[in-house]
Amino acid sequence: GAVVSQHPSWVICKSGTSVKIECRSLDFQATTMFWYRQFPKQSLMLMATSNEGSKATYEQGVEKDKFLINHASLTLSTLTVTSAHPEDSSFYICSARDLVGYEQFFGPGTRLTVL
Amino acid sequence: QKEVEQNSGPLSVPEGAIASLNCTYSDRGSQSFFWYRQYSGKSPELIMSIYSNGDKEDGRFTAQLNKASQYVSLLIRDSQPSDSATYLCAVMDSSYKLIFGSGTRLLVRP
């Protein structure tokens, strides 16, 4: 149990385009989902917290107009990187916390390359 | 600023040995603690959660928590080369966010 999926697993796009990443909890309902970014050989950096049906809470320094998060249901959250630039190239990972527990389960990640 | 500290390593152990990974945290009010394993290029995978003082065992893994000393550890018995990875200690804050340590790289030598 406790499986989180992400789609796509990798994406290459041109500078200036937008990219949407989906995060789904497959076998549990997620009260809260989290979005992280990780650059090579660096630690995970929390970008934002999303709760179903409410606006996401962004960490300091993360541009909310650039990284749009929608948590439409208890099993789906999406991250849209708008007007992507090469510096947005990174490994984006979501995690989900179920309704009753404290554990967070991570998706497999999405590798974004912006040309 | 809430902090979680880990030795970056690498921690090198021979196959079959016990690997001991340590973590300290700054927020005395923390209640929930987690160990994740992250292979290079992959996302973190939950190994253990621990909420009470003492030991918690799951297969070859034992998590140990000492809230008075603000210390969490992970023991891996009978280490295998496939255990070579970065181990992340995480502490949950009051808003359910995880505060991660920078990770300890473990290398198990065949």
**Per-residue pLDDT tens digits for B39-92:** 999 999 999 999 999 999 999 999 999 999 999 999 999 999 999 999 999 999
Could you tell me the CA-to-CA distances from A90 to A12, A42, A87, B80 in Å, in that order?
A: 11, 11, 8, 30
Give chain A's mean pLDDT.
93
Q: Do B49 and A103 touch (CB under 8 A)?
A: yes
Nearest CA in chain B to A5: B43
B 33-52 → A contacts, CB under 8 A: 34, 36, 41-46, 49, 51
Class of residue B38 by CB neighbours under 10 A (exposed 0-12, middle 13-18, buried 19+): buried
Whether the predicted pLDDT of A26 surpasses 90: yes
